[in-house]
């Protein structure tokens, strides 16, 4: 590489829990030991992929970027496509045409405006890939490619070039050995020979794919982690030999962790039995008009409920019925009109304000539900879409929130590698964008992220004290709590759950 300008390679391991690295991923483990790493690196709520990717690659939390769930009902879309599906490029394009899916400039936009490049290779779904750089066709030299569906690649010239050599990519199988392999091959056989982009994202879909399919500790998932580690070893060896001394920074990251599915509960059927006319995504896709139902429900662990008539009577009735269900964990609603930032209670009395967890948005549901879970065991309840014993995420278990971040390179100081300061995806994004020279106030696109620089890895800084708080809310016998940490003028959510003794045996059983 002739130029010695600052570049980044970001290697993502989807759904990787920090406590699942040591036994199966020796190369990654060694890299982390030698890198700046954060022991309290935290995903944002809901801890879902299509929510956290826009945060990682924009520097804004969901209340600003607008992707408030993997899937959500959008009242502005008046058709059978009214439910946004983050795994679907056609759904993303449909909703983006009505109201920008990502409402703020992303990393790719900022790089493009500065005449720099972002190139994405991803082994997640085509939708997940698109949300990492939704405007890749707007800028020369950019790339957005899902190895499981190369026909969705942006821009068209890149799509045609990749298809000539690799067709439409590889089908998703479990474990996703083929996806991990093809992503790595394209990086070495296509990206490096033509010249490394300014920022390159190599997003590996494991161990998330296998965790959902088999379980976090299943041997097949362990093998998926080992295979992903071998792919990372190829990338790391290249970086040590050629990239490190040429001002290429290397970051490894995961977007969220996983809990374990302990039992099933069908909330839609329960609400129907209580007398509500409830439509799901499939009902709307079948052509049933929203006007024919009382509420729309989307999700099966963290769920959104949108009432067609959201008056006080219906909201209180729905709240009371939800609070009477043992399997329901936490309840949230949008902030009250003119509410202050620290207002605990949401618009619906007895529910937490979504502003406390930075997920409040006009697209948000009238009531958001997280099914019951247990922070001690990491077990959770959800609908029947995943098997008992498999992994899932979306709530506020620490096992879901705690994520991975480690960085090495010439931009980072050589001392004090272990950081106990809390940090989040928005902080990582701001740090990358600042080091790439994208945040000069006279040139930066507006708005500017309000995240914090991870300066503890860049310069000698005085460690600031952190303040922990527990917010509690009780309505009758229904009690819930949220743990938060205040640090450097930022607030981080570390845990949330329904309080009180849980009598659901499946949630209390240890592995």
Where is average pLDDT lowest: 85-94, 315-324, 434-443?
A: 434-443
Angle subtended at Cα 389 by Cα 178 and Cα 302, rounded to the nearest 5 degrees? 90
Q: What is the mean pLDDT of the chain?
A: 96
Mapped onto helix, strand or coil, the DSSP state of residue 133 is: coil
Cβ atoms 422, 466 nearer than 8 A: yes
Nearest by Cα to 399 from 34, 79, 28, 18: 18
Nearest by Cα to 364 from 398, 399, 333: 333
Q: In CATH, what class is 13-45+105-200+208-254+404-457?
A: alpha beta
pLDDT score, position 511: 65
pLDDT at residue 2 tops 70: no
Residue 1 — very low, low, confident or very high, per pLDDT cuts 50/70/90?
very low
Q: What percent of the chain has pLDDT over 70?
A: 99
- Each residue of 13-35: pLDDT tens digit? 999 999 999 999 999 999 999 99
Handedness of CA 116, 431, 428, 37 (dihedral sign): positive
Query: CATH 3.40.720 region(s) of the chain?
Result: 13-45+105-200+208-254+404-457
Q: What percent of the chain has pLDDT over 90?
A: 94
Nearest by Cα to 463 from 432, 419, 423: 419
- Each residue of 313-360: pLDDT tens digit? 999 999 999 999 999 999 999 999 988 878 999 999 999 999 999 999
Cβ atoms 249, 239 nearer than 8 A: no
pLDDT score, position 443: 79
- Each residue of 454-466: pLDDT tens digit? 999 999 888 889 9
**HSE-up (13 A, CA, CB side) for residue 337:** 0
Widest Cα–Cα separation across the chain: 69
Nearest by Cα to 46 from 418, 455, 357, 283: 357
Residue 78 — very low, low, confident or very high, per pLDDT cuts 50/70/90?
confident
DSSP helix, strand, coil percent of the chain (3-state; round to 5): 35, 25, 45
Cβ atoms 306, 75 nearer than 8 A: yes
């Amino acid at each position: 590489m002739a130029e010695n300008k600052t570049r980044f390679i970001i290697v993502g391991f989807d759904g990787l829990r920090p406590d699942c690295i040591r036994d199966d991923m020796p190369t990654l483990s060694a890299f982390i030991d030698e890198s700046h790493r954060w022991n309290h690196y935290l995903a944002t709520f809901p801890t879902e992929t299509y929510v956290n990717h826009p945060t990682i690659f924009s520097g804004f939390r969901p209340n600003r970027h607008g992707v408030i769930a993997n899937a959500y009902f959008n009242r502005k879309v008046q058709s059978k496509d009214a439910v946004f599906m983050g795994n679907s490029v056609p759904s993303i394009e449909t909703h983006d045409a009505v109201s920008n899916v990502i409402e703020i400039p992303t990393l790719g936009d900022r790089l493009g405006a500065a005449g720099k490049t972002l190139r994405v290779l991803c082994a997640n779904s085509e939708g997940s890939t698109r949300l990492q750089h939704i405007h890749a066709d707007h800028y020369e030299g950019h790339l957005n490619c899902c190895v499981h569906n190369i026909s969705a690649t942006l821009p068209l010239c890149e799509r045609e070039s990749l298809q000539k050599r690799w067709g439409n990519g590889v089908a998703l199988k479990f474990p996703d050995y083929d996806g991990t392999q093809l992503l790595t091959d394209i990086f070495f056989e296509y990206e490096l020979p033509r010249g490394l982009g300014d920022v390159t994202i190599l997003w590996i879909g494991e161990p998330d794919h296998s965790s959902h399919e088999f379980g976090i500790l299943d041997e097949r998932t362990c093998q998926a982690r080992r295979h992903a580690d071998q792919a990372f070893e190829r990338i790391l060896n290249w970086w040590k030999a050629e990239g490190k001394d040429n001002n290429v920074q290397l970051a490894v990251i995961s977007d969220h962790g996983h809990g374990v599915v302990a039992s099933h509960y069908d909330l839609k059927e329960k609400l129907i039995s209580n007398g509500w006319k409830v439509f799901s995504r499939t009902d709307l896709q079948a052509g049933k008009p929203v006007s024919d139902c009382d509420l729309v429900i989307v999700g099966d662990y963290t769920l959104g409920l949108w009432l067609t008539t959201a008056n006080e009577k219906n909201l209180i009735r729905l709240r009371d019925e939800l609070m009477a269900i043992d399997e329901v964990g936490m309840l949230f609603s949008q902030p009250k009109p003119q509410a202050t930032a620290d207002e605990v209670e949401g618009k619906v009395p007895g529910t937490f304000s979504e502003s406390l967890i930075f997920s409040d948005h006009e697209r948000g549901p009238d009531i958001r539900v997280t099914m019951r879970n247990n922070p001690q065991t990491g077990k959770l309840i959800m609908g029947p879409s995943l098997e008992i014993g498999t992994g899932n995420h979306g709530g506020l278990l620490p096992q879901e929130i705690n994520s991975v971040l480690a960085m090495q390179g010439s931009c980072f100081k050589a001392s004090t590698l272990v950081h106990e300061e809390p940090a989040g995806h928005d902080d990582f994004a701001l740090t990358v964008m600042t080091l790439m020279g994208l945040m000069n106030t006279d040139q930066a696109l507006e708005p500017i992220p309000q995240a914090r620089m991870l300066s503890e890895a860049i310069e000698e800084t005085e460690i600031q004290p952190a303040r922990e708080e527990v917010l509690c809310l009780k309505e009758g016998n229904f009690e819930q709590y949220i743990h938060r940490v205040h640090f450097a003028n930022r607030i981080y959510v570390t845990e949330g759950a329904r309080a009180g003794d849980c009598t659901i045996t499946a949630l209390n059983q240890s592995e």
